[in-house]
Amino acid sequence: GAGVSQTPSNKVTEKGKYVELRCDPISGHTALYWYRQSLGQGPEFLIYFQGTGAADDSGLPNDRFFAVRPEGSVSTLKIQRTERGDSAVYLCASSSSDPRGELFFGPGTRLTVL
């Protein structure tokens, strides 16, 4: 497919467990963003990759959250010791090298921590 894909679409886990969320960006897009969206809120920035490196991770809420993009394409957001407050929709977006350009969003992963 030509768009951004995210897997899984839904993830239900128990408090304290570890989860991984995957993002497959549009081919050739060097920039990749992770956002988190809670009910009734706008997307909240988590981390931004330019190529393989995390150019800005200032939005990660604490050290339980970590993301990688080892080959400059697919990215994985990892959450350790999940808490109920982590429940949200996690959005991934990619864009071309033009920093003022459009972000292309995936459909999101809905994470529910019981």
Which is nearer to other proteins, 82 or 88 (by Cβ)?
A: 88
Return the sign of the alpha-carbon dihedral for residues 23, 39, 78, 100.
positive
Q: Shortest distance, CB of residue 73 to other proteins, whole angstroms? A: 19
Which is nearer to other proteins, 66 or 104 (by Cβ)?
A: 104
Which is nearer to other proteins, 69 or 82 (by Cβ)?
A: 69
Please tell me the distance from the alpha carbon of residue 89 to that of residue 42, in angstroms, as a whole number. Answer: 11
Q: State the DSSP H helix or E strand holding residue 51, giving kind and residue range, or none if neither.
A: none
Interface residues toward other proteins, by CB under 8 A: 3-4, 33, 35, 40-45, 48, 55-56, 91, 93, 99-100, 102-108
